[in-house]
Chains A and B, each alone.
Chain A
Amino acid sequence: MTEFIQHLINGLSIGSIYALIALGYTMVFGVLKLINFAHGDIYMLGAFYGYFISRFFSLGENPSLFSLLLALTLTMATCAFTGYLIETFAYKPLRKAPRINALITSVGISLFLEFTGQLVFGSDPKFFPQIFAISGEWAIGDLKFNPLQITVFIISLTLMAILQFVIFKTRLGRAMRAVSFNHDLASLMGIPTNRIISFTFMLGSALAGAGGVLVGLVYPKIEPLMGVMPGLKAFVAAVLGGIGNVTGAVVGALSLGLAEEFVVGYLAPSFRDALAFTILILVLLFKPTGLFGTKTTEKV
């Protein structure tokens, strides 16, 4: 039983990271109908920005909640800016082009970031500074909680709650939802669609960047190719939840994290990566709209 609950905790904590990345996929898809494959690499950039910011302010020497929040905020800001640049230079010129062009461009951006990363940061793994530390361990009997893991989980949930608030309670969020509903109609209503799209990109990139820092904190080994697998997994999570649906992305990501954990724990560890893609194929075959997606009929 303890083993089961321990697996449960582990699964939720890895799932919450997938959720942060999956949210970016789903939001960008919502407003642009574009799968942004470079999103996993923004997450990688987040980890490296966090690494350099922490080193620059020597946050590793005085670990505290303040250091963590400082690194997190600065990283989210720089990632948002990177997202803005990518959107402006790579996707905006393609706004009127067929959708497949933008999709292929996103694959190109992804490779560009991965290999530039290897060139600039070096491809050997780096140690992410411990900018936040809670001494001791939390345990109930044999159940061990890594305090860091719990912190990461709480921070991710908070970020998701803020996002929910932004989307459903603010003017900006209303504009995002309008753009996602219908571009042309939204712009006729006086909504600056291009600005809203850029903003969505920045929001998604900031979340991915936060994911990078939080992962660096718990798994302190970062390298330029670290975004590839989590990026694909988060994409699967977004599809599982119904791409374009914010709640769906979170539920999908947590389910994927749990499913992976149990497969590794009780079946064979080598199935970990296969599982995500099996889920992807099954969802696409039997319920292409995902768990929360609504069926849309193509207008002719």
Chain B
Amino acid sequence: MKKISIYLVSMIFALGLSACKKTTPENVITIGEVGAMTGPTATFGISTHNGIMLAIEEINEAGGVKGKKLNLISLDDQGKPDEAAMVTTKLITQDKVVAILGEVASSVSLAMAPIAQQYKVPMITPSSTNPDVTKKGDHIFRVCFIDPFQGSVMAKFAHETLKAKSVAILRDIKNDYSMGLSNFFVDKFNSLGGKIAVEQSYSAGDIDFKSQLTSIRAKKPDAIYVPGYYTDVGLIARQARELGITVPLMGGDGWDSPKLKEIGGTAVNGSYFSNHYSAENQDPKVQEFLAKYKAKYGSTPDALAAMGYDAARVLAEAMERAPSLASNDLRDAIAATKDFSGVTGNITIDQDRNAVKAAVVLKVTDDGFKYQSTVNP
């Protein structure tokens, strides 16, 4: 008898719970976020989330979108593509989100995009730069530049500013972002008349890079292009300096994390990487964002925080313009985004659903990342 009553109570409880879930208030718009809150790329996810939260709070304080408040459901994917695919499905089928923001890492976004496309839920990735991400379907957008541009920025920088004649490549073979970026770098650098001294690779998570670096050292390159993520780059820089390699290292936006300096120490000083924005930009828009971010989180926002902020605001602005929040209406509104004035520059979505924007080159120094130059598309 007791058993039956426990069973009944738990049934009622379960029913009650599911009933709660179904009655989402009508005056709220739910959007989803997928990001790496833990795992090897955790600082990417956390920064992006902070940026998005800041944007959403601002929008809600100013009255929300179409008179409704925005509600963000944020799920952790640990930086794993399969995990991201799972939580994306959950966001769409269970939480009924109208749009999805995420991810940072291209490999992860590539796993999410087909799912968003299948359910026709618009997805905006703040900072996945691999070109293939938005090719997954007409509901996938991004607010950042793409790797062909980012790769050519660094190739130009190596050729013109560093006056490098030969460059060695060290790339992460398990990472779509790193592989793509180095290919575009090689194409551009060759067409500028430079020479690729040697191409070496590693797998994310390796801790010993000395054998690759020893082979690279033998070719005496003028610079080394390492378009990987900050966790590996810190160790690579250390070991390169230990082997007596003094030439600058170069990389992409995957370097942008405070952990780069923490793991790499002084070894990463004097290296350069391409990025979406610089906190040193004196534009009032950037300075205002900086001040608000610092007040809320107590730290200087990195580019990923700025990208998250812009992605959320582009989405909110498109929602305001869209005749309804139904998938195709919202999709068309995002696609029509033109000259949106964001923290990371003016954002115009082109016919391939990518943003056309300028990139900056930053130098790693003892007091942080210093602005070097801006390269326009």
Contact = CB atoms under 8 A, between A and B. Distances in A.
B271 interface: no
Contacts of B212: 264-265, 269
Given A127-B263, A269-B200, A269-B202, A139 B244 contact: yes
B214 A10 contact: yes
A11 B211 CA distance: 8
A219 B40 contact: no
B238 to A, nearest CB: 8
B15 interface: no
A10 to B, nearest CB: 4
A39 interface: no
Given A219-B235, A269-B173, A273-B203, A123 B42 contact: yes
Contacts of A7: 211, 214
B348 interface: no
A62 B38 CA distance: 31
Given A6-B210, A10-B210, A265-B214, 6 more contacts: A123-B39, A123-B78, A127-B262, A144-B242, A144-B244, A272-B206
Contact of B207 (A118, A137, A219, A273): A219
A105 interface: no
Nearest to B170: A269
Contacts of A272: 203, 206
Contact of A124 (B38, B206, B214, B234): B38
Nearest to B210: A10
A13 to B, nearest CB: 9
A270 B208 contact: no
Interface string A256-285: 000011101110111011000000000000
B263 A220 contact: yes
A14 interface: yes
Contacts of A261: 210-211
Contact count band on A:
35 or more
A118 B211 contact: no
Given A7-B214, A146-B242, A270-B201, A221 B207 contact: yes
B89 to A, nearest CB: 22
B259 interface: yes
Contacts of A215: 207
A125 interface: yes
A108 interface: no
Q: What 10 A-B pairs are tightest by C-beta distance, nearest first?
A: A124-B42, A264-B211, A219-B207, A265-B211, A10-B210, A123-B38, A146-B242, A144-B244, A6-B214, A127-B262
A122 interface: yes
Contacts of B78: 123
Given A124-B38, A137-B242, A14 B208 contact: yes
Interface in A177-213: none
B179 to A, nearest CB: 12
A118 B79 CA distance: 13
A6 B159 CA distance: 31
Contacts of B129: none
A142 B244 contact: yes
Contacts of B210: 6, 10, 261
B10 to A, nearest CB: 27
B38 A118 contact: yes
Given A219-B207, A226-B207, A269-B200, A122 B38 contact: yes
Contact of A221 (B215, B231, B244): B231
Contact of A3 (B43, B214, B234, B262): B214
A125 B207 contact: no
Interface string B266-290: 0000000000000000000000000
10 contacts: A7-B214, A10-B208, A118-B38, A125-B231, A125-B259, A215-B207, A261-B211, A268-B201, A269-B202, A269-B211
Contacts of A6: 210, 214, 243
Given A125-B40, A125-B231, A3 B215 contact: yes
B218 interface: yes
Given A137-B244, A269-B200, A221 B234 contact: yes
A124 B235 contact: no
A87 interface: no
Contacts of A269: 173, 200-203, 211-212
A184 B210 CA distance: 49
Interface in A1-32: 3, 6-7, 10-11, 14
A41 interface: no
A4 to B, nearest CB: 9
Given A124-B40, A125-B231, A221 B243 contact: no
B230 to A, nearest CB: 9
Could you say which of B38, B210, B262 has the most chain A C-beta atoms within 10 Å of its C-beta? B210
Interface string B210-250: 11101101100000000000010011001000111000000
A266 B198 CA distance: 12
Contacts of A14: 208
A125 B203 contact: no
Nearest to A145: B242
Given A146-B242, A264-B212, A273-B203, A221 B39 contact: no
A125 B263 contact: yes
A220 B215 CA distance: 23
B42 A3 contact: no
A146 B245 CA distance: 13
A114 interface: no
Contacts of A260: 211
A124 B39 contact: yes
A15 to B, nearest CB: 11
Nearest to A5: B214
A261 B215 CA distance: 11
A221 B38 contact: no
A219 B208 contact: yes
Interface in A32-57: none
Contacts of B238: 220
A153 to B, nearest CB: 14
A265 B215 contact: yes
Contacts of B206: 272
